[in-house]
Amino acid sequence: MEIAEKTLGIWLVRAESEALALCLQRRLGVDGVRVTLYRPWLTPDLPQQQQFGAAYRQHRQWVMLAASGIAVRFLDGLLRDKHSDPAVVLLDEAGRHAVALLAGHEGGANQLAYRVANAVGAAPVLSTATEALKPLVLGVGCRKNVSEEQIAAAVLFALAERELTDVREVATVDLKANEPGLLAFCARHGLPLRVLGHATVAARPWTRQPSDWVRHNVGLDGVCEPCALIASPRGHLIVPKTALNGVAVAIVEDKWMEIA
């Protein structure tokens, strides 16, 4: 059976996850993606693991609302090859962490983890070495409708002698999540965009250069510095807010190598 490319399954282990699953279905079911919710308790005579095994290859990607132990047991015996296995992202039932569990690169689980995280305000968790060894996080704030070229110019100006390939992710506030220029820049360079809620940023006003314009238009002291620091909590701010033509960029470097 040929599987449609734009299909996503959401597996609920318990009925208590219904509200979270419906939120995911609504926010992930865009751009032609068909999202199916699975409620295995409606078929109580058939074990959940067996039900999941039967549905597993009906979708290219999965979000499991479950504990990691349950996910590991359900996947036991189903895996074949990293190029054909569906991607799996694990989201805890409190909606705190979206973990790219299976097929991070080949199946797109890494990208899906960011989409899930942005949908519910979770933290994306990636363990693939390519991403883990990239030390830089870019915090970006911008005026409305800035172009991709404006974003790129500001980022390259802030990076100075550092390479774009050192960047792990771009972080911004939810009010800027759908800026076409920012989305186009991230897509062109294969950079995941992490979206932080307004309340999350407001609760951590880590900015050295408060902006009257940002206060008036966004309701925050700043965007780029706190977003970068929140996205990389053990990192150091190596480039404070740098503004160029309507775009503000800050850079935080992850100092994991300094851990004793």
Q: For the chain, which residues make up each domain, given as ranges?
A: 7-130, 133-258
Assign 3 a pLDDT band (cuts: 50, 70, 90). Answer: low
User: What is the pLDDT, as a whole number, of residue 258?
Assistant: 62
Q: 84-97, pLDDT tens digit by residue?
A: 899 999 999 999 99
| pLDDT higher than threshold 70 for residue 259 | no
Q: 201-223, pLDDT tens digit by residue?
A: 998 877 777 878 888 888 888 89
Query: What distance in Å separates the CA atoms of residue 204 and residue 206, rounded to the nearest whole number?
Result: 6
User: What is the pLDDT, as a whole number, of residue 131?
Assistant: 87
Q: Is 212 helix (H, G, I), strand (E, B) or coil?
A: helix
Query: What distance in Å separates the CA atoms of residue 24 and residue 112, rounded to the nearest whole number?
Result: 12
| pLDDT higher than threshold 90 for residue 59 | yes
DSSP assignment of 75-136 = HTTT---TTTSPEEEEE-TTS-EEEEEE-SSSS-HHHHHHHHHHHHTPEEE---HHHHT--E
| pLDDT higher than threshold 80 for residue 23 | yes
Query: What distance in Å separates the CA atoms of residue 158 and residue 174, rounded to the nearest whole number?
Result: 22
**CATH number of 133-258, picked from 3.20.20.80, 3.40.50.1260, 3.30.420.180, 3.90.1300.10:** 3.30.420.180
User: What is the pLDDT, as a whole number, of residue 64?
Assistant: 98
Q: Which residues pair with 38 in a beta bridge?
A: 11
The answer to whether 248 and 241 have CB atoms below 8 angstroms apart is yes
CATH of span 7-130: 3.40.50.11220
| pLDDT higher than threshold 60 for residue 168 | yes
Q: 6-19, pLDDT tens digit by residue?
A: 899 999 999 999 99
Give the closest residue to 192 by CA, choosing from 239, 91, 123: 123
